[in-house]
Amino acid sequence: MKISRIVSLGILIVALTALVLALLPSATARVAASAQGVKSFDEKVAALALAQQNGAAQTAHITEAELTSKLEESLIAGASSGGNVQFKTASVHLEDSGFVGIFTLGVYGKDLDLTLAGTLGAAGGRLQVQITGAKLGRLPIPPAAVSRRLEAPPGAGPSDDPLRLPDFIRDVRIENSELLLEAH
């Protein structure tokens, strides 16, 4: 009888600790998004498309401010207003050859930070996101739980795949804290 109370109390403490950690905001600083960042990102991608049309190879160097601005714009534009989970903000830090992304989600009226760390690449015309770490608030979660959500849905066509790259982009990688997009 006494052992079952100790076990129950232990489970309650673990559950409360997990809840508190999930509700704490991310400790990582945010990258500011701006309309100028979106414009700069769009101009660099348009230059890549033009270079490909002219048969020239070119590489665009995207900063974390440009990437954050464009990602936030795209996610907000694609967010649905229904449901219990809503996208609010995004911030991406480019570190050496990887990234740390912080996504603020509104869940039942409470803001939760989802922090993802990983690397980027390109294969088969898709952006490949390799998640190496994940946290909900400050609670570590298995990267595999997030990685499965980034896979293309079975039977999805190219227009249904949010990670489908434009045809003119051959490679995507992070080097020296910059996102590099290569055109054919």
* Per-residue pLDDT reduced to its tens digit, 116-172: 999 999 988 888 999 999 999 999 999 988 887 777 566 666 566 778 888 899 999
Q: Is the CB of residue 33 less than 8 Å from the CB of residue 72?
A: yes
Confidence grade of residue 101 (pLDDT, cut at 50, 70, 90): very high
pLDDT at 46: 94
Closest by CA to 122, choosing from 184, 176, 69, 74, is 184
Domain positions in the chain are 2-183
The tokens for 9 are: 């109390």
| Long-range Cβ contacts of 40-48 (<8 Å, 24+ apart) | 40/66, 40/69, 41/66, 41/67, 41/69, 41/70, 42/70, 44/181, 45/166, 45/181, 48/168, 48/169, 48/181, 48/183
Q: What percent of the chain has pLDDT over 70?
A: 91
Confidence grade of residue 34 (pLDDT, cut at 50, 70, 90): very high
Which residues are CB-contacts of 183 (< 8 A; sequence separation ≥ 6)? 48, 49, 51, 52, 56, 57, 58, 59, 60, 168, 169, 170
The tokens for 172 are: 């995507």
Classified as helix, coil or strand, 63 is coil
pLDDT at 153: 62
User: pTM to 2 decimals?
Assistant: 0.82
